[in-house]
Amino acid sequence: MPTHQPSIATAKHRVAGFTSRGIGRIGSLASFLPEFKEFKDLSRLPRKRVNAIIGWGLKATADRARRLAVRQQVPYIALEDGFLRSMGLGVRGYAPHSMVVDHQGIYYDARHPSDLETMIANGEFSATELARARHCMALIRHHRLSKYNHAPDRALPTSGRRRVLVVDQTQGDASITYGAANDDTFRDMLAQAIDEAPDAEVLIKVHPDVIAGKKTGHLLEDARARGCTLIADDLNPWALFDAVDTVHVVTSQLGFEALLAGKRVVCHGMPFFAGWGLTEDRQHCPRRGSARSLEAVFSAAYLRYCRYANPYTGDSSSLEETIDLIADQKRQRTRHSGDWWALGFSGWKRNFIGDFLGPNAKVHFSRKQVRFSRRRLLPRLQASPAPRMLIWAHQASEAHRRHCEQQGLSMWRMEDGFLRSVGLGADLVAPLSLVLDSQGIYYDASRPSDLEELLNGADFSPHLLERAARLRQRLIASRVSKYNLSGHPLPDLPSATRIILVPGQVESDASIAYGSPDIQTNQALLSAVRATNPGAFIIYKPHPDVVSGARVGSIDADAPRHHGLPLYDLEVTDADITDLLDVAHEVHTMCSLTGFEGLLRGVSVHTYGMPFYAGWGLTQDRLACSRRQRLLSLDALVAGTLILYPTYVTPKEKQLCNAETALRLLEQQRAMHRGLSLATRIYRRYRSLMSGRR
């Protein structure tokens, strides 16, 4: 086919055309194909001239695109899902995190060369790239990731026999025909696997829809006739790899993942990873003859051939970032799966609670605060071996705890996360992050919490600490805080004086009741700060909820002075908290999150209560907590607090995400934020009137 060379004019603004509207619906298409500046739907007349035409692999639906490319004398570029695609299936609404882009063919077509085959055969891989490949392979092993990652990861029943895995595929899979195989190949594969290991238990992995009769496989009847063990459950492939020493495939990607798991792999077709000396091959491809290391094939396939994008932010991504995102989604989804009895949640919160528990959770809501019984629970939670009660943290009482104990329920508390939103929860702005705690809650220093347990005992790997360092640097550079409210410029401040920032808190908030036993009002805090810092310039910033009129915490206008000195030198209500942290030398707080944000920026932080970030050797503390025994680095604190502890959800897709994605979404939301909406102003007025009546 002739190669079209774009003119200088078109090279600056290259256009790709497509005939499949499904391609046009890929939200991150521009990030996957940055060499094109525009994408045109060519399914309707009149068709415009383009520089290339993109289509989905070699599927029949792309025939029209290929014919059109020939007529317009432009290249046809094949797209396909990448090898680490997403948390869940595309048919269930999960957009791709990775995509392959091939100008010669496509990776599963062994009849012709592909970009991937050329990369493997002719590529030169530096020591740095191979080291990166080993690192990514180790991450995939550690997190037990596959192309799709929704399947449960549970161990197979033990067996006293050696086990061999044979992987079936559904009929019509394009990789079978193009991978030098047919129906007979599967029957031959099963026969050879049994003959090679006559004393072994042969496991046959078939698609669940084959057992249900919705799809047709190749091995179901033969496997039953030969007494093989059928594995029809949707199961994480790594659970299968744990149980076997040999894996037989035709063209399934599970064969390559089995190589990552260190298994012997026998290929009966010609997938992309066959023919390089890594597998035992029953077919031969004359173009593939040179031996390549596993790191080299991985580098070609996952680092060079695949392209990555964050489907929630639309930004280009890397393999490492994609691994981190999907691994965090998987971890959160697994942790929160099962039945939940959610108690006392308002209608507004019910709209988003289920999103944070994930698609594997079943939530049952009750308006009653205390009186519920196991007998009432059983009809609705019968299938759950250990149903959990969920309650907003400040509503949890000792009565709740006792009742859960009597009824055999575990009680979990929920609270806003640390990277929450652009706007206040008091204004009914939905959160991007929440925390769920099975022991207590992060702000309650009177008892253990999951966060405290994490910080005391987690193994913070070098990779996790590097993530935390990058996240911390991005937080500082992007000037993101909990609520991300814009503010007015600061007034001129004294340059030769030590500046202390005192962030106000909502005095009725549970974080003060449980986290600051000695000083519990903003006025008392200011008095204590002034008493020990008579010469400092003290800036007091009331809490945004107090300023908005929603919560309690105002300073008495006639507050007594301390030895003739005012409690503070400047009150700012409409300044951006990050601007204040830029000028502050110290932050003095009961237990405000501003202290944590100050730590991130290298500000000296003095605590008068026991917030979650105190007691780890990073702050100047008035109180002590005997349970906190570990000295932490700042990045370890960030890793536990922002990466491992909270749960994040995308506001548009309502899907679990991770801290880095939430931060980017906050940046994007803040860039579009234009101040308080009319609805929010009306709601604030209504709230103030109702508060006044009470």
SS (H, E, C) 366-431: ECCCCCCCHHHHHHHHCCCCCCEEEEEHHHCCHHHHHHHHHHCCEEEEEEECCCCCCCCHHHCCCC
Sheet holding 656-657, edge to edge: 361-366, 338-343, 388-392, 410-416, 433-437, 646-649, 656-657
CB distance 585 to 464 below 8 Å = no
Structure tokens at 655: 């899907």
Cα–Cα distance for residue pair 610/517, rounded to 1 Å: 9
Report the distance separating Cα 400 and Cα 381, nearest Å: 19
- Give me the mean pLDDT over the 489-501 stretch: 90
Say if 156 falls within a structural domain. Answer: yes
**HSE (side-chain half, CA atoms, 13 Å) at 66:** 14
Cβ atoms of residues 178 and 114 within 8 Å = no
Mean of all residue pLDDT scores within the chain: 88
> Taking residues 599-605, what's their average pLDDT?
97
Residue 266 within any structural domain of the chain: yes
Give me 219's structure tokens.
Answer: 């091995």
Euclidean distance between CA atoms 168 and 583, whole angstroms: 64
pLDDT at 154 over 60: yes
Give the domain-ending residue among 645, 664, 685: 645
Q: Look at residue 105 and tell me whether its pLDDT is greater than 60.
A: yes
Q: Running DSSP on this structure, what letter comes out for residue 305?
A: I
H-run or E-run covering 86: none
Q: How far apart are the first and last CA of the chain?
A: 79
Whether the pLDDT of residue 48 is over 90: the answer is: no
Using alpha carbons, list the distances in angstroms from residue 127 to 115, 132, 292: 22, 9, 14
Domain of residue 181, residue span: 148-285
Question: Helix, strand, coil proportions of the chain in percent (round to 5)?
Answer: 40, 15, 45
Give the Cα separation of 255 and 274 in Å (integer).
Answer: 9
Cα separation, 253 vs 110, whole angstroms: 14
Does 497 have pLDDT greater than 80?
Answer: yes
φ, ψ of residue 582 in degrees (nearest 5): -65, -30
Contact at 8 Å (CB) between 126 and 102?
no
Beta bridge partners of 390: 342, 412
At residue 277, does pLDDT exceed 90? yes
Cis, bond preceding 46 (omega within 30 deg of 0): yes
- Residue 161 in any domain: the answer is yes
pLDDT digit string, tens, across residues 561-585? 666 688 999 999 888 888 999 999 9
The verdict on residue 247 lying in a domain is yes
* pLDDT given for residue 470 in this prediction: 97
DSSP secondary structure code for residue 47 in this structure: P
Position 369 pLDDT exceeds 90: no
Listed residue (569, 570, 601) closest to 585, CA to CA:
601
pLDDT reported for residue 471: 97
Q: Which of 72-86, 99-113, 562-576 has the lowest mean pLDDT?
A: 562-576
Note whether 208 and 151 are within 8 A (CB). no
In a domain, 614, yes or no: yes
Give 484 or 479, the one with higher predicted confidence. 479
316 vs 298: CA distance, rounded Å = 20
Identify the domain boundary among 285, 303, 326.
Answer: 285
Can you give the pLDDT at residue 347?
Answer: 85
pLDDT band at residue 500 under the 50/70/90 scheme: very high
The total number of structural domains in the chain stands at 2
pLDDT at 271 over 80: yes
Range 669-689 average pLDDT: 54
User: Residue 408: inside a domain, yes or no?
Assistant: no
Q: How confident is the model at residue 495 (pLDDT cuts 50, 70, 90)?
A: confident
Among the three residues 258, 285, 312, which one is the final residue of a domain in this structure? 285
Which residues lie closer than 8 Å to 71 by C-beta, 6 or more apart?
none
DSSP 8-state assignment for residue 609: S
**Does 138 score more than 80 pLDDT?**
yes
Residue with tokens 């173009």: 287
C-alpha–C-alpha distance, residues 145 and 326, integer Å: 8
| Residue 37: strand, helix, or coil | coil
pLDDT of residue 427: 42
Q: Which two tokens mark 213?
A: 């009769």
Instruction: Say whether pLDDT at 269 is over 60.
Output: yes
Give the Cβ contact number of residue 507 at 10 Å: 19
Q: Is the pLDDT of residue 23 over 60?
A: yes
Q: How far out from the chain centre does Cα 551 lie?
A: 33
Residue 14, Cβ density class (10 Å: 0-12 exposed, 13-18 middle, ≥19 buried): middle
243 Cβ neighbours under 8 A, 6+ residues apart: 155, 156, 159, 163, 165, 203
Q: How far apart are CA 110 and CA 243, in angstroms?
A: 30
In the sheet with 229-231, reading across from the earlier edge strand, the strands are: 229-231, 201-205, 163-167, 246-249, 264-267, 280-281
Closest CA to 99 of 116, 113, 74, 121: 116
Place of tokens 């009002």: 521
Q: How confident is the model at residue 426 (pLDDT cuts 50, 70, 90)?
A: very low
Confidence of residue 554 (pLDDT cuts 50, 70, 90): low
At residue 225, the pLDDT reads 94
pLDDT at position 549 is 55
Angle at which helix 659-672 crosses helix 319-335, to 10 degrees, equals 100
Burial class (CB in 10 A: 0-12, 13-18, 19+), 50: buried
147 - beta bridge partners? none
Q: Are strands 52-56 and 38-41 parallel, antiparallel or unpaired?
A: unpaired
Two structure tokens written together for 89: 């299936």
So what's the pLDDT on residue 211?
67
β partners of residue 101: 79
In this prediction the pTM is 0.90
Look at the chain and count its residues. Answer: 694
Please tell me whether residue 157 adopts helix, strand or coil conformation. Answer: coil
CATH number for the domain spanning 242: value is 3.40.50
Question: Does residue 31 belong to any structural domain of this protein?
Answer: no
Q: Does the residue 168 lie in any domain?
A: yes
- Kindly tell me the burial class for residue 46, based on how many C-beta atoms sit within 10 Å of its own C-beta (0-12, 13-18, 19 or more): exposed
Phi first, then psi: give them for residue 69, nearest 5 degrees: -65, -40
